[in-house]
Amino acid sequence: MPENYEIADQLKRITESDQFSRSGINISLITLLVNATLNGHKLKEAEIGTEIFGKSYDPIKNDAKVRVYIHNLRKKLTEYYLGSGKNDSLMFEIEKGQYSVKFLVPGKEKKKLLKSNRLWVAVAFLLSLFCIGGYFVWKATSSELPIWEGYIHKTFPTSVLIGDHFTIEGPIPIEGGGLIRAFNINSDADFANYIQRHPEKASSMSPNRYSYVTKMGPYCTKTIGNFFNNQKIPYELMLNSEWDKSKIGSENIIYVGQFKTMGFLRNVYNNFNRRISIEGGIVKVTGKNKKESKTYYSHTGSETIDYTIVSKIRGPNKNVITMFLSDNDIGVISVLNYFTNTDSLKSFNRKYRINDSEFTALFKVSGWERTGYTMSLELIDIKRK
């Protein structure tokens, strides 16, 4: 058995390699398995799922999730030891059906493993000759679903966040107390700032933990649920106020909601989008000069005009973050319908060739009844690779 420091050094080499450095989940998974093996702890599948995926893991609904990621981890180890790790003096092996790690030293075991791996690669190559036609058909199809590729061919678990509104408990015109919704108070911090300016209200008002969603909530939940189920994409659904922002780099994220309910994600969006920014309930587009700059105001009346943003960006660990944003309901309902319709999405990609690039698009959505919305693209900003 190698010394612990030798195993730690080997783990560091693996996790910093090209095969592993871009995958936060694979790094967390191999580290967990190695540490458990060294401590003599026999991990169970549900324990691994909870440790790696947190609240997004359901041992009933996601019973195959851990096995899929362990299978992928074995493949990554094979790639590593056939590539940059071929001359390493210590090898990690995870046998099929096991969650413990074997630590192999050079010798017959290593030669046997490498020979087996080379045979596997040769067989895989021959099979690929028969499948290559099918691959290009798949590639052509998937590349026309550009927003969703990172979710379909996933490295990270997915959370769908529905924007919910902050409420206050306090006096209302009707006798007794009730819930208050103030458009300019959208978080605990906003409420604290208000009380600081109006200390006389401190005794009669307090934040309430019962938030609410507008009509876009059920409509958009159904829309994205149907689309993800058809694409066989597992996901966790929650209110944005319940989401743990520390997971900004460890999962794929979809946010659907109004500007005012974004919370922490507003900073994430504005840090990425210097040209198309959100300030309060308005959208500001910064041009090369004052003449090219423009401000977009959503408004309601006989016909609602809702300027709506769709933005796909990369998170800290190359995870995917996609946002559907507007000031009112009709915008996010309309653009989400558009981007979950495979025909319209393919048409959009053929026209603008966004493929897997980061992009932000601004739409003008108008109408009143849900069946009578019209939508037009105002501008699109694509960050080509």
313 vs 349: which has the higher pLDDT:
313
**Residues 183-229 pLDDT 10s:** 778 888 888 888 899 889 888 888 887 888 999 999 999 999 999 99
Q: What DSSP string describes 313-357?
A: EE-TTS-EEEEEEESSHHHHHHHHHHHT-HHHHHHHHHHH--TT-
Cα(31)–Cα(54) distance, integer angstroms: 16
Other Cβ atoms within 10 Å of 29 Cβ, number: 23
> pLDDT grade, residue 348 (50/70/90)?
confident
pLDDT at 141 over 50: no
* Stretch 323-327: mean pLDDT: 95
Please say if the pLDDT value at position 130 is more than 50.
Answer: no
Q: Which architecture characterizes domain 4-106 according to CATH?
A: Orthogonal Bundle (1.10)
Decide which of 26 and 124 is more confident. Answer: 26
If you classify domain 149-163+214-383 with CATH, what class do you get? alpha beta
pLDDT given for residue 51 in this prediction: 83
Q: Where in the chain is the domain with CATH 3.30.379.10?
A: 149-163+214-383
Q: In this predicted model, what pLDDT tens digit does every residue of 330-343 receive, in sequence order?
A: 999 999 999 998 88
Q: How far apart are CA 163 and CA 265, in angstroms?
A: 10
What DSSP state is assigned to residue 299? B
Residue ranges, comma separated, of all CATH 1.10.10 domains in the chain are 4-106
**Rounded to a whole number, what is the distance in angstroms from the first to the last CA of the chain?**
46
Alpha carbon 99 to its chain centroid, in Å, reads 27
Question: Has residue 134 got a pLDDT over 50?
Answer: no
Asked if pLDDT for residue 81 goes beyond 60, the answer is: yes
Q: How far is CA 42 from CA 6, 47, 99, 100, 308, in A?
A: 21, 10, 8, 7, 50
